[in-house]
Amino acid sequence: MSYTLLLGGARSGKSELAVRLAAGAGRVVVVATAEAGDEEMAERIRRHRARRPAGWTTIEEPVELTAALEGVPEDGFVVVDCLTLWVANLLERGCSPAEVEDRSRRAASVAAAHPGGAAVVSNEVGSGIVPINALARTFRDMLGTVNAIWAEHADRTALVVAGRVLLLDDPRSLGP
């Protein structure tokens, strides 16, 4: 099997596409990184859960993504939703950019080696304005780096916009 990285803006259809990609798999494990810090986020989590078929397994793991991925059975297709919140959780807990990169490389490597296949969701946040404060700039920069690391390990990377998909070419395919 292979793994697909799905990038895009908020509410672009990334999670819905990840669910569709997983639908053909027999056994599906969702690794959810969100934490319900307030009522609005709790409602978002509820909506995401409601979209998943009842037979799917969910692992809620906001920080230890590598361990969660290592725990997925070999025959299980894994959906990681999402790297955006995972990076925010790591930064919120005081992880340095170097530690976030290291954790990302390890987790992406585990996902790439997973025989059951995977769909990984993340936001593309680098196309907007430069954030006004240092933490927001660090988050934007770290997520861009994390997305590039995961794309490097992915078999396919797609940009999802308004529910439509644009496959992104590997830069190595463009020549020297």
Catalytic residues: 48
User: First vs last Cα of the chain: how many Å apart?
Assistant: 29
CA pair distance 142, 98, nearest whole angstrom: 9
Pick left, alpha or beta for residue 94 (phi over 0 → left; psi -120 to 50 → alpha; otherwise beta). Answer: left
Nearest by Cα to 48 from 75, 26, 80:
80
12: DSSP letter: S
Give yes or no for a cis peptide into 82 (omega within 30° of 0). Answer: yes
Angle ∠(102,95,131) on CA atoms, nearest 5: 100
